[in-house]
Structure 1
């Protein structure tokens, strides 16, 4: 006999409404609440984000809101009484860009924009307007060559099917790691 999966969606929605004021009191936005159940044990995963601005939520802020959320959950009148683990995090780099504030937070980063019935664009996000985004697309180049950038392209939010941040190991403007420059004479002495 197999175990039936538990539908945690109603519980997650209830907790999202219940915990939203606690998160907002720390000047953060409640992005999502996920509830996972294993037997009698629950894991409540709360994802918080900055209201506005760039960058991410720092660890001190995560710890602070985590304590407040734990206190709120301990006093939850709708709590079913089962033990829980609380996990609090900020959205990872893999989270889709679905709201204008997501795009604003990632200005300057390399993004992939999947468009409705058009070719996708990968390039540098340089701006966000009320109606959409501005991307400087990467143009195709031969392997091993530095990428070239095209002219800025304005894309309305209504044309975007999906957006995501592309992982970069070094960003433009950051210094490249220094290589040791050893003369042949120095190499022989070593």
Structure 2
């Protein structure tokens, strides 16, 4: 009678890594929930939070964005202001374990992927490149984003030097979109904060 091999057990090293990842994920979610109201109180939206550890030191990277009702990007002054507010909030965190940390605050650039409905709503009026789940990629002007998906006016390919032509507007459901991103236009450069780096981020850092 054949004997089935026993399932492979975690080594002590794997166990520690898995436990550390689970602990970091829990800490990240707790800190995100704790800081989100503070960010909202400053008129911004907490887009993302990441914790990176090196020994006992932590680097907390917070990404903030404007609310859906505002256009443009987060100014450098607002980044500096929210950095100070978040630093104070973290110093007063009743559940913090006291380990030293560095706080980095940045805003997402136009090159970030459009992965959530709010990302699309924030970029109505911009030129976007959309790759559907099936079919060819479409470049067009985003004119609406509702609860179900997006509506855009596609730009039709023309010969070099000719004025771009627009096709009939189309609607794509969110579940039919594989990925999307904003296409940078010179006319919209003034919408983005001055001083962003090549990745579209401007950040400040504080040590605690």
Q: Same fold (TM over 0.5)?
A: yes
- Describe the SS at the equivalent of 2:47: strand
Give matches, 1:155-170, under 5 Å: 155-168=172-185, 170=186
Q: Which runs of 5+ in 1 are unaligned?
A: 175-190
The alpha-carbon deviation at position 35 of structure 1 amounts to 0.9
Structure 1 residue 21 corresponds to structure 2 residue 37: yes
Larger RCO (CA under 8 A, 6+ residues apart) = 2
The structural deviation recorded for 1:57 is 1.7
Alpha-carbon displacement from aligned partner over 1:67-110 (angstroms, at most 9, x marks no partner): 11101111122323221111111112222212222112112211
Q: Equivalent of 1:67, from 58, 72, 84?
A: 84
Secondary structure of 1:171's match?
A: helix
Q: Which residue of 2 aligns with 1:104?
A: 121
TM-score (norm 1): 0.78
Extract unaligned runs of 5+ from structure 2. Answer: 1-12, 191-208
Alignment of 1:32-181 (within 5 A): 32-53=48-69, 54-168=71-185, 170-171=186-187
TM-score of the superposed pair, with normalisation by structure 2: 0.72
Give the C-alpha shift of residue 158 in structure 1: 2.8
1:145 Cα deviation from its structure 2 partner: 4.2
Superposition deviation, residue 144 in structure 1: 4.8
Report the RMSD for the aligned CA atoms in angstroms: 2.4
Number of matched pairs: 170
